[in-house]
Structure 1
Amino acid sequence: MGNTQTKLYYYLTGALIVFILLLGRFLNTYQSFTTVVLCSLMMFLLLVSLFYYGVVQTVHKTILSRPWSRLALLCCGVYLFVLLVPLGLFGFSNFIKFSVPISGAQFTWLTVNRYPIAISAIIGYFGLALVGIYFSNYARNILAVDGDQPVQAFKNTAKSMTMKQFGQKLILVLSMLIGICLFIVGLGFLNKIFPSSGLFFLSQGLIDIVAPFVEIVVIGWLLGVKYAWITSRGLIAGVGVCLIVFSGLLAGINPALSARPIGQPTIIVHRGVINHNAQGNTITALKRNSRYHFPFIEMDIQETKDHQFICAHDDDVTIPSHGKREINQLNLATISQFHHVDMFGDYLRVANRLGQPLIIELKVTDHSDPQMGTRFARQFKRQLQVLPHRVHSVGYPFLRQIKRQLPHTDVGLVTMLNFGNIGNYKVDFYTLQHLTANPFLIASVGKTGRTVYSWTDDSRLSMTRMDLLGVSGQVTDQALRLQELRVNYQKDRWILLLNSLQNYL
């Protein structure tokens, strides 16, 4: 591209970024699967059009009269769009993830099988990314080849790419990701040292403009766009400053960035343990830490094969000569032969005697009995109503069974992947995994008026971040640390800038 074309490409990139930011604000207000699909489609078309313009201006050819080449180029655009989704897609990935209409049963299956799914997805993604980087010149070669020959363009791309070029492109992508990460973290650190509202919103504006601009320019270069060295950059710099100021002002009206903490969060003692002072999910830990009178102790239970509920977190136990076996595939007698077991009924009676409310996590596996929730509610119905005990689980169908038996007992959904339109589920509260929770998710489920907890917040950084994002309570192994936490909105707000890592990495 010449000087004029490169300038126009930069201006169009800036306009696309502004459009993306405005779409994001729109989706923050109007959250539905249909609007997300339409907005994503518009974004896809504009992004592909921008790259098409850059490649056309580089090779000085078009494909208007080449239908197969147009189809191949469209497939390249889809491929690129898919690769960008796990990298945040300039903030759009969050909207896409949390709008996917999946049933509660599907959510449960995905969560229970999250490890093999996640490992397969990561391996598959890196494979697709490496292939995409290797054949990144294909889009340019489609236009450069004479005639309507996308297959020949593919052969030319494979033949012309050397391992040295592939390595250089791979290093460029990694450098881009590391650079954006350091850029965001650096601005966060700067705001930590010099806390002020003006610097905070200016920093968010810088992130929202510079990070996507760099990504789009680098991706364009990978696709074969050749940029000219611009000698007169005054106008471009002026437009860039205006875009940053605009983005900063837009961040200023974002409730997730301007809302103040709601106050001291509800402290929920994870597994009944504070700072490793006992073994989790035991009556000993319950007795030791109920003296602090925290609002809730959270603990885990499993159902055995013979339908007994025991206090345990892990899905399996080690049985000599048989290795690890799932608890719900073993009878209580077999487990008790090799392990100390605290029965949940005993645990619940002690909690009621001590006046300690519980949040009980009903653990679920692929082999859980389909009527486990109903059986649990019937077996402990009277004791569960002595105090305001709550039940939460990844198993949405089991929560519905419990709610039908105990309509006055609050049930909550535990999330690990934070995926799907979970705001539509019929639960009383949510317990969100803090690493993958973000402002959009917390705000969207919070709008329904239901309580939002986060887990497991042990560091001051995670505690402060979740407090700034407006969760009502936090599940923690460090209850005393959380009790002493005092969030200073002005000084601690820098942590919110780190949420941008989810948008651009």
Structure 2
Amino acid sequence: MHARLVAATTTAFVGAATLLTPTCDARAGGVREQPVVIAHRGASAYAPENTLPAIDKAARLGFSWVENDVQRTKDGELVVIHDDSLKRTTNVEQVFPGRAPWKVKDFTAAEIARLDAGSWFGSAYAGTRVPTLKQYVRCVEDNHENLFLELKNPELYPGIERQTLDLLSNEGWLDQPHLGRLIVHSFSADSLRIVHDLKPAVTTGFLGTPKMGDLQKYAGFTDLVDSSHSTISKNYVAAAHAFVGPHGKRLRVFTWTVDDAATARTVAGYGVDGVITDKPDVVRAALNKP
């Protein structure tokens, strides 16, 4: 049973408030907000990625945003796992030795539920399971956290956009209060267009670094670009901010995966709106340091 501690919930709200507190930027001669810090695949430096313990760890550290990856099983269940293969983060080779290359899409939900998704990370997490998306969003809700959901490899799973939105709707995540706590992102522009067409109210993010000349086109269907930190600059962020996304707000820039203090301060200096990290506590400390 994953943690449902009141203390974790309280800490998450405090952490969110701290991250969004305006801070003085002497160079700009004004006030700016610190970037939002998103726990990548949960607090994945401290617990096995994309698992319920990783969500709980993020909450205990005081972070309200968690990122995850969604794929689909052979029998149509949405599950939370990053790779299209089960090999790296489960014991699938031992449980099903004759079924290489162990693709998620080739296993049923019941088969995946048998796998250990924690021992690879550490013995303390032995027996941790690959969560279904339903289990995952319920854990996020229990912790009063926010969800940054990636549609992973959507080309492998036709219709996953509608299926994911249907599940989120059934779990109450598409009502007005939850829409402010949800971002759906993907490397697939086509997938994001489908999400935007099906549910225009959902905030979407494109994973990648479009050319500056293409940013206006992306602003037609996505609210933010989510770029590798090595591919952006202060000029790029400023160029993105010049456009208005589909919800009438400036096109935002998030960046990944930032795990050290120096890089965190660098991208904050670029003016990014969000930082995705395996080590959210390290990034928070770096950004809050005078």
What TM-score, normalized by structure 1, do the two folds share?
0.42
2:164 to 371, 376, 379: 376
Give the aligned partner of residue 270 of structure 1. Answer: 40
Q: Which amino acid aligns with 1:395?
A: S
Counterparts of residues 333-412 of structure 1 (less than 5 Å): 333-339=110-116, 340-364=129-153, 366=155, 368-382=156-170, 383-385=172-174, 387=178, 388-412=181-205
SS at match of 2:33: coil
The C-alpha deviation readout for 1:262-287, integer Å capped at 9, x for no partner, is 3321111111116x221111112212
Following superposition, the deviation at residue 335 of structure 1 comes to 2.9
Q: Which amino acid aligns with 1:434?
A: H
Cα distance in 1, alignment partners of residues 100 and 216 from structure 2: 40
Q: Which amino acid aligns with 1:396?
A: A
Cα distance in 1, alignment partners of residues 74 and 160 from structure 2: 11
Maintained 8 Å contact 1:351/1:358: yes
Maintained 8 Å contact 2:73/2:105: yes
Structure showing greater relative contact order (alpha-carbon pairs closer than 8 Å, 6 or more residues apart):
1
Q: Which amino acid aligns with 1:359?
A: F
Question: Larger % of helix: which?
Answer: 1
Structure 2, unaligned runs of 5 or more = 1-26, 88-95, 117-128, 244-249
Q: Does the alignment pair 1:290 with 2:59?
A: yes
Structure 1, unaligned runs of 5 or more = 1-257, 490-505
Cα distance in 2, alignment partners of residues 476 and 271 from structure 1: 9
Counterparts of residues 319-330 of structure 1 (less than 5 Å): 319-330=96-107
Q: Which amino acid aligns with 1:431?
A: D
Cα distance in 2, alignment partners of residues 331 and 371 from structure 1: 18
Give the aligned partner of residue 227 of structure 2. Answer: 432
Distance change (3 Å), C-alpha of 1:480 and 1:487: closer
SS at match of 2:231: coil
Cα distance in 2, alignment partners of residues 351 and 486 from structure 1: 25
Q: Does the alignment pair 1:313 with 2:82?
A: yes
Q: Does the alignment pair 1:465 with 2:260?
A: no
Following superposition, the deviation at residue 485 of structure 1 comes to 1.9
The C-alpha deviation readout for 1:343-380, integer Å capped at 9, x for no partner, is 110110121122111111111154x2232111211122
Maintained 8 Å contact 1:374/1:398: no
Distance change (3 Å), C-alpha of 1:293 and 1:488: closer
Cα distance in 2, alignment partners of residues 350 and 406 from structure 1: 23
Cα distance in 2, alignment partners of residues 469 and 487 from structure 1: 16
Distance change (3 Å), C-alpha of 1:422 and 1:372: farther
Cα distance in 2, alignment partners of residues 273 and 326 from structure 1: 25
SS at match of 2:149: strand
Q: Does the alignment pair 1:441 with 2:236?
A: yes
Aligned-pair identity in percent equals 24
Q: Which has the larger radius of gyration?
A: 1
Maintained 8 Å contact 1:271/1:281: yes
Following superposition, the deviation at residue 259 of structure 1 comes to 4.9
Maintained 8 Å contact 1:455/1:474: yes
Cα distance in 1, alignment partners of residues 74 and 256 from structure 2: 29
Q: Which amino acid aligns with 1:335?
A: I
Maintained 8 Å contact 2:258/2:277: yes
How well do the aligned residues superpose, as a CA RMSD in angstroms?
Answer: 2.5
SS at match of 1:384: coil
1:478 to 273, 279, 287: 279
What TM-score, normalized by structure 2, do the two folds share?
0.71
Cα distance in 2, alignment partners of residues 365 and 373 from structure 1: 8
Distance change (3 Å), C-alpha of 1:266 and 1:342: same
Maintained 8 Å contact 1:456/1:474: yes
Following superposition, the deviation at residue 474 of structure 1 comes to 0.4
Cα distance in 2, alignment partners of residues 270 and 338 from structure 1: 22
Cα distance in 1, alignment partners of residues 75 and 162 from structure 2: 15
Q: Which amino acid aligns with 1:328?
A: K
Cα distance in 2, alignment partners of residues 447 and 488 from structure 1: 29
Runs of 4+ with deviation above 4 angstroms: 258-261, 417-420, 486-489
Following superposition, the deviation at residue 336 of structure 1 comes to 3.2
Cα distance in 2, alignment partners of residues 297 and 473 from structure 1: 12
Following superposition, the deviation at residue 410 of structure 1 comes to 0.7
Cα distance in 2, alignment partners of residues 402 and 293 from structure 1: 30
Q: Which amino acid aligns with 2:256?
A: W
Maintained 8 Å contact 2:234/2:269: no
Cα distance in 2, alignment partners of residues 488 and 379 from structure 1: 40
Cα distance in 2, alignment partners of residues 444 and 305 from structure 1: 42
Cα distance in 2, alignment partners of residues 287 and 487 from structure 1: 23
SS at match of 1:413: strand
